[in-house]
Amino acid sequence: DFEARFCDDQQRYQGKSVDNDTPRSRILNCGYAFTLAGSASDDSFFTNERNGAHAIFRHVYSDMAMVALFQKAALLAASQRLTELVERRNAGREIHLPSPAEVRSFYDHFIEFTQNFWFDEISPQEQGRELFVQWHEHLGTKPLYAEVRQELLDLVQYTELQTTGSLNRLVAMFGLASIVLSATAVV
């Protein structure tokens, strides 16, 4: 399944029929490496600096690759930061949890990333959409996004439980104090 997973033939976007006389061009993409290959006899495409392969590669494909790689790097950094927020102490016997303010700050940053920099589609053109999906698949970006998001939601939920438990204890203490004061006032 090499061709299906890593190759994209360009003829369907260039409006040419594919036969033995037609120069072929192919994109090879494995996520971290990207190559545009073709026939040297196709001088209208491969040697045209203004709107041929060089221009398309520099102005379209390299930008798409940068966005895909940026998303992956940002998610890896977020995963690392989550790991650092929750740390084990005393030879692994005790877990140190972040403060609700630290969790909230991280949550705000993740929401900002999601709203400003996370998107599934980067181009209105079919080829651009397919290539971006291919980059996401090879880099494992979508599963990493889902993993970081779930870990963050778990941490937020746990922090809320801790906060709710503290509030419940505080309310119970005030309730007990009010009962004692009421009993003292009656006596």
Per residue in 72-96, pLDDT tens? 999 999 999 988 888 766 666 666 7
Do residues 73 and 60 lie in contact, with contact meaning Cβ atoms separated by under 8 Å?
A: no
What is the reported pLDDT for 169?
63
Q: How far is C-alpha 9 from the geometric centre of its chain's CA atoms?
A: 27
Q: How far apart are CA 24 and CA 3, in angstroms?
A: 14
Q: ∠109-160-104 over CA atoms, to 5°?
A: 15
CA distance 139 to 123: 18
Q: Kindly give the residue spans of alpha helices, DSSP state H, lying in the chain.
A: 2-6, 11-14, 43-46, 53-56, 62-85, 100-117, 126-139, 141-186
Q: How confident is the model at residue 17 (pLDDT cuts 50, 70, 90)?
A: very low
pLDDT given at position 139: 92
> What average pLDDT does the segment 96-121 reach?
88
Q: Rounded to two decimals, what is the model's pTM?
A: 0.71
